[in-house]
Structure 1
Amino acid sequence: MSKISIPALAEKHAAGDPIVMVTAYDYPGARAAERAGVDMVLVGDSGAQVVLGYDSTVPVSTDEMLVLARAVRRGTETAFLVCDVPFGSTELSDAQAVETAIRFVKEAGADAVKLEGGSAPRLSRIRAIVAAGVPVVAHLGLTPQTATALGGFRAQGRTAETAARLVREARGVQEAGAFCVVIEAVPTEITQLLRQELHIPTIGIGAGAASGQVLVLNDLLGITEGHTAKFVKRYAALADAAAEAVSAYAEEVRSGAFPAAEHCYAATEEALAAARAELARR
C-alpha cells in the first residue's frame, strides 16, 4: 500500500469513500493503526490527559507533544500523520504559529498540523501556516482547548447562533486554505449542511455521518478509564483485560508459581564450577 497523500484523501472524498482516522499517542498505538490500514493518524493534544495524566489539554507543551509525535511517526509508514499544535503555541502571532508548525514537520515528520477554531485570528494563522508550506487540518464545533469559553464540554451548533457561526467558520477555514476539517460534537443535520457547503473532506467525531470518522485509539480499545463522551464506541475492553493479566501475574509471583523453570536460564557446569571456585577463593 502506498503512502496516503492529500490528493489521495481528496480522491477518497470525491468518490464518497469514507476516510478512517484514529488518534494515537505512541509507537504501539501507531503500529496498531498502521496494521489496520487506517488512512490518517492524529497525534492529538488529548494525549495530555490520556497518556500524560493532565486534567485538560491546556498544560501540555510543544516539546511534550513532539515526543509523542515522533513516537507515532516511527510507527507509521503509509498513514497520513496529523499533529495537534498545543494551546499557547500559536495564539500570540502568525509568526509563532508558523514556527510551531515547522517544528512538527522538521522534528516529528508530521504531514500536517491541526488547529482548533475558526475565528478571524485563527483564520490568519491557517493562512500563514499554509503559505509557509505546511498543510493544515481545521477543527470546528467543540474545541477542547477553549472549551471553557464554550461553556464546557458540550455539543455545539444546537442554537441558532452557534449553528450560524459554524457555517461561517467552516467557510472561513476552507477559504483560508485548510485541506480538511474535523467537526466535533455537532448535530448530524448541521454536519450534513456543512458537507454540502464544503468541498474539502469533513472528519466527524460525535457529528454523525461525514467524509470520515475519528476516534481516540485508547477509547475504542476500551483502555480509557472513567467517563467517556457519548460518541465513543468501544470495540474492545483492554483495560479490564490488562488489569486481569496483571492481577494473575501478581498472584503467581506471591505464590511462587512465577517464574517457573521454562522462564529461567540454566548455567553450564563449567560456569557454575567457576562461580563456586571464585566464591571459595574469597
Structure 2
Amino acid sequence: MTKTMTVASLKKMTADGEKFTMLTAYDATFAQLLSSAGVETLLIGDSLGMVIQGQHSTLPVSVDEMVYHTQAVARGNQGALLVADMPFNSYGTTEQCLATAGKLMQAGAHMVKLEGGDWLCESITAMSRMGIPSCVHMGLTPQSVNKFGGYKVQGRDNDAAQSMIDQALAVANAGADFILLECVPASLAKAITEAVPVPVIGIGAGKDTDAQVLVCYDMLGLTQHRMPKFVKNYMLEHHNYQSAVKAYIDEVKAQTFPAAEHEFD
C-alpha cells in the first residue's frame, strides 16, 4: 500500500463515492500479505476463536488474546487501518469499555469494534472523548448467538428494520466512526447506509454499503466449514493468494461483489 489509511482518509473515500475493503487478519504474515495488496482496513476479529483456536463461537476469546493478535498484526501491517474487536463481556460498562479499548489501542489498533446498539452510546461518546475511534457492529452480532438462537438474518420485519435504522443513527450521533452490518436484508443495509453520516461496512448486507468485509480464511478457501451464503471463495478462480486478494479488492470497488446470490432479502 502506498499510503497509510486513517479514519479521515476512509471517510473521504466514502464521501468521494469510492468503496473500500476490509479483511480479517490475525498474524503478521497475513497482515503483510493483505495490506501490501491494497486492502485498506484489516480487522483483528474475535472470529480468531473459531478459525485459529477451533472454538465453536467467538465467546471464549479473551482481551489478552486480542491484545496478542493485535500486536502481531501491527508488526506486519503495511499501511492499513487496524480495527480490533472488543471480545465478549469486555465492555459492559463505560469504565470497562475504556479499559479494554485502551489495551487494544496500545497494542497497535487504530480503532475498536464492539457489538450492540444504542445502549452503547455513553461508552462510544466516552471513547471518542478519549481519542479512541469506534466501529459499531449491528445486525447479526456473533457474541449474541445464544440470545438469537443461532446465526440468523436480522431485521427482516418492519419493526426490527426501523429499530436498526434508529439505533444506527443513535450510535453515529454518539460518536461512532463506522458501522458494520452483518446478515441483514440488502434493502435495509441500503437504507441505513443512506441514513447515517458515517461509512457503513457490510458482510452479507448487499452491495450498497460503503465497504465490504470478509474473513480472510473464507475468501481464500482455507476453512473446512460450510461457507455462508455471503462468502465468495476467490481461490477457485485464482492461482495464488495475491491475485485472489487483488480480485476481491477490484470486485468490491467495481460493485460486482457482492452479487445477488450473496445477498439476503
**Normalised by the shorter chain, which TM-score bucket?**
0.7 to 0.9
Asked if residue 218 in structure 1 is aligned to residue 208 in structure 2, the reply is: no
Partner of 2:18: 17
Q: Aligned partner of 2:136: which letter?
A: A
8 A contact 2:155–2:164 mirrored in 1: yes
Q: Which of these residues, 158, 165, 168, is aligned with residue 167 of structure 1? A: 165
Give the Cα–Cα distance (whole angstroms) in 1 for the partners of residues 149 and 161 of structure 2.
Answer: 15
After TM superposition, which residue ranges in structure 1, 4 or more long, deviate above 4 angstroms? none
Flag the 1:154–1:57 CA change in 2: closer, same or farther, 3 A: same
Partner of 1:58: 59
* Matches for 1:133-282 after TM superposition, within 5 Å: 133-209=131-207, 210-236=209-235
How far is 1:154 from its partner? Answer: 0.7
* Matches for 1:95-110 after TM superposition, within 5 Å: 95-106=95-106, 108-110=107-109
Give the Cα–Cα distance (whole angstroms) in 1 for the partners of residues 215 and 90 of structure 2.
Answer: 23
Unaligned runs of 5+ in 2: 241-265
Partner of 2:76: 75
How far is 1:117 from its partner? Answer: 0.8
Q: Aligned partner of 2:187: which letter?
A: E
Q: What are the superposed Cα offsets for residues 196-252 of structure 1, whole Å, 9 maximum, x if unpaired? A: 101210101000011010001100000011122110110116xxx9xxxxxxxxxxx
Give the Cα–Cα distance (whole angstroms) in 2 for the partners of residues 168 and 32 of structure 1.
Answer: 38
How far is 1:82 from its partner? Answer: 0.3
How far is 1:69 from its partner? Answer: 0.9
How far is 1:163 from its partner? Answer: 0.6
Q: Percent of counterpart pairs with the same letter?
A: 40
Give the Cα–Cα distance (whole angstroms) in 2 for the partners of residues 126 and 52 of structure 1.
Answer: 29
For CA contacts below 8 A with separation 6 or more, give which structure has more relative contact order.
Answer: 2
| Alignment: residue pair count | 236
Give the Cα–Cα distance (whole angstroms) in 2 for the partners of residues 90 and 127 of structure 1.
Answer: 13
Structure with larger Rg: 1
Give the Cα–Cα distance (whole angstroms) in 1 for the partners of residues 31 and 217 of structure 2.
Answer: 11
Partner of 1:260: none
8 A contact 2:31–2:78 mirrored in 1: no
Indicate the SS of the match to 1:186. coil
TM-score by length of 2: 0.86
Q: What are the superposed Cα offsets for residues 152-171 of structure 1, whole Å, 9 maximum, x if unpaired? A: 20111111221111111111
Q: Aligned partner of 1:58: which letter?
A: L
Indicate the SS of the match to 1:236. helix
Q: Which of these residues, 114, 126, 129, is aligned with residue 124 of structure 2? A: 126
Give the Cα–Cα distance (whole angstroms) in 2 for the partners of residues 32 and 169 of structure 1.
Answer: 36
Q: What are the superposed Cα offsets for residues 166-194 of structure 1, whole Å, 9 maximum, x if unpaired? A: 11111111011011111110111111111
How far is 1:77 from its partner? Answer: 2.3
Q: What are the superposed Cα offsets for residues 88-127 of structure 1, whole Å, 9 maximum, x if unpaired? A: 1111x10110011010111x1110000111042x222212
Partner of 1:30: 31
8 A contact 2:28–2:76 mirrored in 1: yes
8 A contact 2:220–2:234 mirrored in 1: yes
Q: Aligned partner of 2:62: which letter?
A: S
Give the Cα–Cα distance (whole angstroms) in 2 for the partners of residues 160 and 124 of structure 1.
Answer: 27
8 A contact 2:36–2:78 mirrored in 1: no
Q: Aligned partner of 1:231: which letter?
A: F
Give the Cα–Cα distance (whole angstroms) in 2 for the partners of residues 115 and 33 of structure 1.
Answer: 23
Give the Cα–Cα distance (whole angstroms) in 2 for the partners of residues 5 and 119 of structure 1.
Answer: 25
Give the Cα–Cα distance (whole angstroms) in 2 for the partners of residues 96 and 18 of structure 1.
Answer: 34
How far is 1:76 from its partner? Answer: 0.5
Indicate the SS of the match to 1:2. coil
Give the Cα–Cα distance (whole angstroms) in 2 for the partners of residues 36 and 162 of structure 1.
Answer: 38
